[in-house]
Structure 1
Amino acid sequence: MNNVSEPNVKVSGSLSERDKKHIWHPLTQHKLNPSMLGIVKAKGALLYDESGKVYIDGIASWYTSVYGHCNDYILERVQAQMQQLDQVVFSGFTHEPAVRLSEELIKILPNNQEKLFFSDNGSTATEIGIKMALQYHFNRGEKRPIMLAFEEGFHGDTFGAMSVSSLSVYNGPFEDFFIEVERIPVPTTNNIQQILAQLEARLQKNDIAGFIYEPLVQGAAAMKMHGAGELDSILKLLKEYGVLTIADEVMTGFGKTGKHFASDHLSTKPDIICLSKALTAGLMPMAVTSCTQEVYDAFYSDEISKGLFHGHTYTANPLACASALAGVALLQSDAMQANIRRIMASHQQFDSTIKNHPKVANTRQCGIIYALDLDVKMERYGNLRDRLFRHFMDNGVFLRPLGNTIYISAPYVITDEQLKKIYDTITSALDNI
């Protein structure tokens, strides 16, 4: 055992005060939001701040900690792995946690998926999916430089991911550097035939490499939802023209839509699937981009240059794989599936009353994801949104409104009492607008 002593440094000030000195936070304009809340503990569906106040985590910390924070089963599995193998290069080596995870994920992924490419986060998962689609056609001698995406989609913050996203609040300074992308509207029963007709005419040029989409729920677009039947029609048409389909399930994966994956609601399965967030249950950063055998075979060659030359230092980190393995086991457990059904039913009951509130424009639900739009015009980041956020936090509920949309995507282990508190807090916010 190394004889190492921690430096005797006297710490003064709160976490919030110390944070300001050196840390630059994501999605934050620090001049307008100078202070961050210090969180010191998390367990189940609860977060604890440095003053001792408790908050119900109504969004599972950006949709990651779906089995609850500091889940004992996951912690035990990762702690055991820490004693065996912590990190090893994944180029030229492999290890048991990664191999086992590949075996277990393939069992629950849509049945056309065969190969897994590991990376670090949701943005890189989609970045790799985009690169797979573009290089797939390049390797086959086809010139297909254009990507297709939905309007209002969001797929991450790296350059390829930003290119196919269309939220200008994130992308503005970088748009001159993007890959070429064309967009189609999100399908509805009213516009689907028009979309299909226009899309088929466009596909005649044979220059579109891939279509990336968030299946059923567009998260950053304020939980905008679309039907499986309409999306199925688009995917089927694209496949007829050799366009690779890329399901961005970074947010929707691992039970949130009521099935293991949103793609399970569709008959037409994607060629490529992007996974992260709940993949490791919020404990470790990791991502996976899966694909069909046909996609993989386009890279399998005697020519080195036809390989997928993309890599990350912590690719398939053994601890992250152990966390993901534990999460996959929990997802399939009877107890967790019962929790998912319980939350879905609870949301439905809440919806039956709140949808008639005079301040509610509309409501929607997909699995455990529930959203309502306020009948009030407001900016995505503005005064009213900030007032709503403060109301929730003052009442011990962590929700992050997106513009005039309030949504819930809580851990599956949340209790009925905790759900009721979320509902009551939303209702009181509406009453006080």
Structure 2
Amino acid sequence: MKYYNYFPTRKFQIYQIFASNTNLGKTIFSTGLIRSSISKSHNNKYNYYLKPIQTGYPKDDDSNFVKTYIPKVIFFENLIKFKTLFKYEKPVSPHLAADNSIPSDENVLNKIKDYVSECYNESLNNGGRLFLETAGGVSSPVMSGTIQSEFYRVLRLPTILVGDSNLGGISTTLSSYESLLIRGYDIPIILLFNNENYNNHLFIEKYFNENQNSSIITPKIFSIQLPPKKECNDLTEYFQSNDENFKHVIDKLEEWHENRFNRFDEMERKAKETVWWPFTQHDKVNRVNVVDSAYKDLLINYNDNNNNAPSLSETFDGSASWWTQGLGHGNTKLTLTASYASGRYGHILFPESIHEPSLSLSESLLDGVGKNWADRVFYSDNGSTAMEVALKMALTEDYKEKGKETLILGLEGSYHGDTIGVMDACGPNIYNQKVTWYAPKGIWFTPPKILMKNNKYKIHTDINVSSYDSLSEIFSENRIDNDQLSYHYKQSIENQLYHYMNQGYKFGALIIEPVVMGAGGMIFVDPLYQHQLIKSVRSILKIPIIFDEVFTGFWRLGKQSGAEFLKINPDIAAYAKLLTGGLCPLAVTLSTEEIFKKFLGDTKVEALLHGHSYTAHPIGCLVGNTSVHEYYNLDWNKERECEEQDKLFSIWRKDILQQISCLPNVNGVFALGTLLSIELNDIDGGGYASNVAKLLIEKLSTFERNSIDDFGIKTRPLGNVVYIMSSLISDKKSIRNIEQKILKCLNS
């Protein structure tokens, strides 16, 4: 799909007209609004009427109707233009009228974007207004069968809702309003005819006055005089008599539009004055990313760097919103799920209670990421907390010895969260450098990492550099018995373990991030090393194995869990991030029954005393269950690259990786699942504190405003490591465009 860098601007207003049902007078209202808009236009400001889909053509031609009642002098001044994009003869719903020739949603949206962009460019100097009139009702389908409120959501245009003034119209109007609201539309105005038989407008106005919400735009209600009977062929007098009423509507729309952009203008300044951002050196913040909304893989950002036309534009969410996005922003299934759970439950105290969302999600997880090893699910609120719980589960009385501190085993470069406990379970690094309470409580092995350089995957160890042609080779089970590194890893790991044991160290658990260590710098660890580490620790120390899958779980890397990659199961594992598809906070810690039984006893002191007020909140649990099932239903072969010999999925093309790997400014690259990681060359050594990626990040974020095919990519580097991460629903075309932009920026 084409990227859209021509959203409403301060000078160029766009309004979308929806109706609660069909035959409610959308075109009458469109005509009145355009007449009044023209009369208020100054300095040759343009006005546009766009009807994307017209059925019943040519007998029904809404563009022609509007044109009929626009004063003829306007056409000579060229202040109004009309456009109908798709015309069908049958006077039925578009999905029926299209017969066998059904254009794709992408095709229809691109035509709409092309025309809106054309209008935008034409009105750059003097400004303008565009009114887009939909077909039928809010939930009427377009040609493909997608309902309109879903189809137009990617544009998220300010919406004028035409209410129903007939008998039963209160219900249809409020239902339509709520349907649009839960999809994230702004609805500044509701228009109805003044039908004195029912006076629906009075009730609706009273309803909104009594139910104002400071966090949601409360629409203004305008009632307009009913038009004459349908048999009347000339409505000129009707429109003339109502021009003043429609001017009031235009005034309110202008006021709302100005307030919206005034708020955009002050958000950056106010954010710098009031917000304390995580992982951010405020003294180094130049520009603030002002986000209006988000949809699928896109962030809709406000840009004021063009003083002539401050505007909104689409930017690819290149970090999957801190690794949480799996099903795209604004996913309606997740939104409806959350709304249902909110309306049914709110929140419920969880200890010694159960509700369907928590039970269903527990069953799904034990049959999914925990299949064949996990028996229990403990709920918390975020990844760091899930790992705190994992540590408490592992470090029981069984592993304590008088006078000896129980330590953990881990990998150098790992990072398990921001809370004090899991911070102590990581080696010294930039995250804990200034934390005065930090006290490292473990031993961290140095893992061999993998990067592609000059077309080869290379593993650097203390004995040699091993090269591989494909990921399939790296993840092959044959390596366990046949790869020369297997024996070397085993000997090295066991020698170190016996060394620490002989020195009197006591260990309570091994913690690893399977395959990729995220926050530590997207470190791709040789899976054979992790496999052998787990086997040796389990055999010699007989302590619990903890998988930190907060980042890697739920197909982020192309498989459901790290156990599938490593061909070995943990005793405890933590999951978050993708668990709820990016909609709301929730985390879980899974464990075996053996771990669970260690906390059984006669007193409460022996129990696992950990919890949060919002433990297993129904909204998160039900959204999580929906997300997990949606992941299962994805077509994993569609629009993905797949290495032969093994089902290792990557949305990134291997030939692109090879090109990147040969660049002199790149130390190495790898891609797995949705993740693409590029380690840049830094003569000062790299690491999280490196600024070498700053220029590349700036290049990726910019776009050519005059090109509808260009776009920005929003991402945050990890020092000298630049990573791009998509959701699990990203389309192939977008990924191909991103690959080309990355190559272009790296070469410039």
1:355 maps to what in 2?
Answer: 661
The equivalent of 2:546 in structure 1 is: 246
- In structure 1, distance between residues paired with 2:691 and 2:441: 35
Q: How does 1:122-201 map to 2 (within 5 A)?
A: 122-135=383-396, 137=398, 145-166=406-427, 168-174=429-435, 176-178=437-439, 180-187=441-448, 190=461, 192=489, 193-201=491-499
Deviation at 1:88?
Answer: 1.0
Q: Could you tell me which amino acid in structure 2 is paired with residue 69 of structure 1?
A: H
Q: Distance in 2 between matches of 1:337 and 1:306?
A: 48
- C-alpha distance in 2, partners of 1:418/1:158? 37
Go from structure 1 to structure 2 and tell me whether the alpha carbon gap of 1:377 and 1:61 turns closer, same or farther (over 3 Å shift): farther
Q: State whether structure 2 residue 341 is matched by structure 1 residue 81.
A: yes
Structure with larger Rg: 2
Task: Give runs of aligned pairs for residues 27-66 of structure 1, distance below 5 A.
Answer: 27-33=279-285, 35-50=287-302, 51-66=311-326
The secondary structure found in structure 2 opposite 1:346 is: coil
Seen in structure 2, the aligned counterparts of structure 1 residues 35 and 235 have a Cα distance that, compared at 3 Å, is: same
Moved more, 247-256 or 26-35: 26-35
**Structure 1 residue 388 displacement after superposition:** 1.9
Q: In the TM superposition, what whole-angstrom CA distance separates every residue of 1:274-316 from its partner, at most 9, and x where no partner exists?
A: 1110011110001101111110010111232111101111111
Q: CA deviation at 1:55?
A: 0.6
Question: Which whole-Å deviations, capped at 9, do the CAs of 1:330-369 have from their partners, x for residues lacking one?
Answer: 1111425635557715332321322222322222233332
The letter of the residue matching 1:238 is: V
The residue number in structure 2 matching 1:25 is: 277
Residue type of the alignment partner of 1:37: N
DSSP 3-state at the match of 1:21: helix
SS class of match (2:722) = strand
What do the CA deviations read for 1:181-231 (whole angstroms, capped 9, x no partner)? 221111467352323321233245471001111111011122111122221
1:235 aligns with 2:534: yes
**Corresponding position of 2:357:** 97
Q: Larger relative contact order (C-alpha < 8 A, sep ≥ 6)?
A: 1
Q: Which residue in 2 is equivalent to 1:261?
A: 561
Number of aligned residue pairs: 432
Q: 1:22 to 1:323 in 2, by over 3 A?
A: same
SS in 1 for 2:574: strand
Report the TM-score, using the length of structure 2 for normalisation.
0.55
Counterpart CA distance in 2 for 1:126 and 1:142 is: 26
Deviations 1:390-429 (A, max 9, x none): 1111130112222222222211221222212321222122
Counterpart of 1:242, as a letter, is K
**1:118 Cα offset (Å):** 0.5
Query: What SS class does the counterpart of residue 351 from structure 1 fall into?
Result: helix
Aligned partner of residue 595 in structure 2, secondary structure:
helix
CA distance in 1, matches of 2:440, 2:691: 35
Distance 1:59 1:7, change over 3 A: closer
Deviations 1:368-400 (A, max 9, x none): 322122233355345432222211111301122
Q: Contact (CA 8 Å) 1:139, 1:298: kept in 2 or not?
A: no
Task: Quote the offset at 1:145 in angstroms.
Answer: 1.3
Q: Which amino acid aligns with 2:388?
A: E
Change (3 A) 1:143 1:118: farther
CA shift at 1:160, angstroms? 1.1
Counterpart residue identity of residue 286, structure 1: L
Letter in 1 for 2:301: D
* Cα distance in structure 2, aligned partners of 1:426 and 1:303: 59
Distance in 1 between residues matched to 2:407 and 2:211, nearest whole Å: 55
Q: Is the contact made by 1:136 and 1:295 (CA closer than 8 Å) also made in structure 2? A: no
Q: How big is the shift at 1:260?
A: 0.2
Q: Distance in 1 between matches of 2:400 and 2:598?
A: 6
Note the C-alpha offset of 1:33.
1.2
Tell me how far apart the structure 2 counterparts of residues 167 and 316 of structure 1 sit (CA, whole Å): 33
Name the residue aligned to 1:224: 523
Q: Which runs of 5+ in 1 are unaligned?
A: none
Greater Cα offset, 308-317 or 170-179: 170-179
SS of residue in 1 equivalent to 2:579: helix
CA contact (8 A) 1:340 1:368 kept: no
Separation (CA, whole Å) in 2 of partners of 1:87 and 1:336: 35
Contact 2:427 2:442 in 1 (8 A): no
* Residue 270 of structure 1, aligned match among 570, 579, 585: 570
TM-score (structure 1 length as normaliser): 0.92
Structure 2 residue corresponding to 1:397, chosen from 698, 702, 713: 713
The percentage of counterpart residues that share the same residue type is 28
